[in-house]
Amino acid sequence: MSQTTAAAIPQETQASEADATAKMPRQIPYIIANEGCERFSFYGMRNILTPFLITSLLLSMPESMRAGMAKEIFHTFVIGVYFFPLLGGWIADRLFGKYNTVFWLSLVYCAGHACLALFDDNRNGFFFGLFLIALGSGGIKPLVASFVGDQFDQTNKKLAQKVFDGFYWIINFGSFFASLLMPIFLKQYGPSVAFGIPGLLMLIATIVFWSGRNKYVHVAPVAKNPDSFLHVVGTALKTETPGQGRPGYWLAVTGGLLAVVSLLLIPDIGIVAALCLALVLVLGFGGAGAWLQLERARAAHPDVAVDGVRAVLRLLVVFALVTPFWSLFDQKASTWVLQANEMTKPEWFQPAQMQALNPLLVMLLIPFNNMILYPLLKRIGIELTALRRMGLGIAFAGLAWIVVGFMQLAIDGGNAIEITWQVLPYALLTFGEVLVSATGLEFAYSQAPLAMKGAIMSFWNLSVTIGNLWVLLANSSVKSPAVTEQIKTTGISVTAFQMFFFAGFALLAALLFALYAKRYQPANHYRQA
């Protein structure tokens, strides 16, 4: 087709024709199969971690302290899993590329599983295995999702959302069977087998990923860039303008000082929580400071670099407002399991098996939403944009925790509650998860500048770390006698109080998210064909 003829055709028509002829990349099945096996391995060990800690590894502790310590270890592990994406994203973007980084960190991941199976009666060996899994799983977490996005371009980007939904569906397919089977294997065959099977699945995942190495689109890492995100931010903060103050610089300095002060809290909240809190303070105050003075960077950097930094800073606000959702969601594997222990259930049923309900509902809800709910809402004039879905998802998580809060009140009052009652909060939380997480994967990728795909996906995963940080801080606060006494004046237990606190936390975040989303202008950063 000549340029003249192409120009005469409306852009919308050209886009429609491109959509009609778009083909699914042939390498996608390798990545999807890899993700299904990897997610089985991860959730297989994660979903039995709390019960294993309480019934085996922490037996030397007083019984009254085991549940609290198991919860703290679990959320510390999750913090690590979602912190290491920062390292993995940087290595991939700057040094080795996504494929090489995913492959080598997958081998580290396999070694971590081996440690769990071999050292199930040795704390140091077991915790070292958790560290290796956090490093391997966390390091590849942002890269596999962005690697999926790399396989698409402007000609077939419309298929990307379907693949991201399929990607999320296969994650939950693996999670479902892991959640259903691993508690049984733990009880009947012991921790060596229960932790060894996920390790075998991770090895299979690595082999499958390696098998597609000659079919992938490989986006080369970006060389050291003088106009990178950090360089532009540094210039904006350091540049002095005659006759003007430096409010952004001093705001960033304040964040740095508060971060140092937060390290003094290590004896109270632990080193992991203290370090994460320090990181949050640096990012929050530094980002706000850079925003205030960003225009000063235009003298030293091209407009496209400065505008890219502004876009990323706007996106980080979205991520920050999602963190309360993760503080609620990840407690289904700790707080909700502990609540299930107190509920009536069949003798053969293990409380951790309730978590299988979450991925099962995800596999049902994703096709239901895409084929029925979203088209129906569109026909009646309601367009659920990505940001609207995410805001609603946070609100549904809050509703789920109101339900478990009232259930806890009944348990505290001596009432026998059937475990089947947990189906309702699981349904509400999972609907929120589909709206937030499945949507957020594609949204985060589409908003990331081309040179920062891995890094920006790392920030998306960092929101999970911060969400679990809120859990650790809340748990640390209720250890204070003064706080405990204050809660007693409400007439409810500490556990129920925390449940309602997290529900309110999420509902407030949903409101702030909705207000911010109204002013957010989405971008399109898929690569050209």
Secondary structure of residue 344 in the 3-state scheme = strand
Give the closest residue to 466 by CA, choosing from 288, 283, 289: 283
Distances, alpha carbon 314 to alpha carbons 86, 117, 214, 309, in Å: 18, 43, 37, 9
| pLDDT class of 529 with cuts at 50, 70, 90 | low
Q: What are phi and psi of 418, to 5 degrees?
A: -70, 145
Residue 289 contacts residue 248 (beta carbons within 8 Å): yes
Its pTM stands at: 0.80
Residue 300 contacts residue 309 (beta carbons within 8 Å): no
Q: Which residues pair with 462 in a beta bridge?
A: none
Q: Which two tokens stand for residue 281?
A: 């303070």
Q: Which residues pair with 344 in a beta bridge?
A: 418
Give the closest residue to 387 by CA, choosing from 524, 284, 515: 515
Residue 179 contacts residue 353 (beta carbons within 8 Å): yes
pLDDT in tens, 192-220: 999 999 999 999 999 999 998 888 888 88
pLDDT in tens, 295-306: 999 989 998 888
Residue 434 contacts residue 399 (beta carbons within 8 Å): no
**CA 102: distance to chain centroid?**
17
In whole angstroms, give the CA distance from residue 465 to residue 49.
Answer: 18
In whole angstroms, give the CA distance from residue 172 to residue 367.
Answer: 13
Residue 238 contacts residue 156 (beta carbons within 8 Å): no
In whole angstroms, give the CA distance from residue 444 to residue 145.
Answer: 10
Mean predicted confidence (pLDDT) in 214-228: 80
Higher-pLDDT residue of 329, 90: 329
| pLDDT class of 509 with cuts at 50, 70, 90 | very high
The reported pLDDT for the residue numbered 528 is 53
Q: What letter represents residue 303's amino acid?
A: D
Give the closest residue to 422 by CA, choosing from 471, 367, 362, 352: 352
Secondary structure of residue 418 in the 3-state scheme = strand
Q: Which two tokens stand for residue 3?
A: 């340029």
Residue 126 contacts residue 116 (beta carbons within 8 Å): yes
pLDDT in tens, 32-84: 888 889 988 999 999 899 889 998 888 888 887 888 888 889 988 988 888 88
pLDDT of 230 above 80: yes
Helical segments of 270-356, H only: 271-293, 303-329, 335-341
In whole angstroms, give the CA distance from residue 181 to residue 355.
Answer: 11
In whole angstroms, give the CA distance from residue 484 to residue 171.
Answer: 39
Find the range with the poorest average confidence among 82-96, 180-194, 310-324, 365-379.
82-96
Q: What letter represents residue 175's amino acid?
A: S
> How many Å is the maximal CA-CA distance in the chain?
80
Higher-pLDDT residue of 154, 360: 360
pLDDT in tens, 426-470: 999 999 998 998 788 678 777 767 666 656 766 787 888 899 889
| pLDDT class of 248 with cuts at 50, 70, 90 | very high
Q: Which two tokens stand for residue 209?
A: 């990923």
What's the mean pLDDT when you consider all of the chain? 86
DSSP state of 299: G
In whole angstroms, give the CA distance from residue 380 to residue 372.
Answer: 13
pLDDT in tens, 141-189: 778 777 877 887 777 777 776 777 777 777 778 888 888 899 999 989 9
The reported pLDDT for the residue numbered 501 is 95
Distances, alpha carbon 196 to alpha carbons 19, 110, 119, 453, 464, in Å: 45, 10, 11, 33, 26
pLDDT of 1 above 60: no
Higher-pLDDT residue of 20, 61: 61
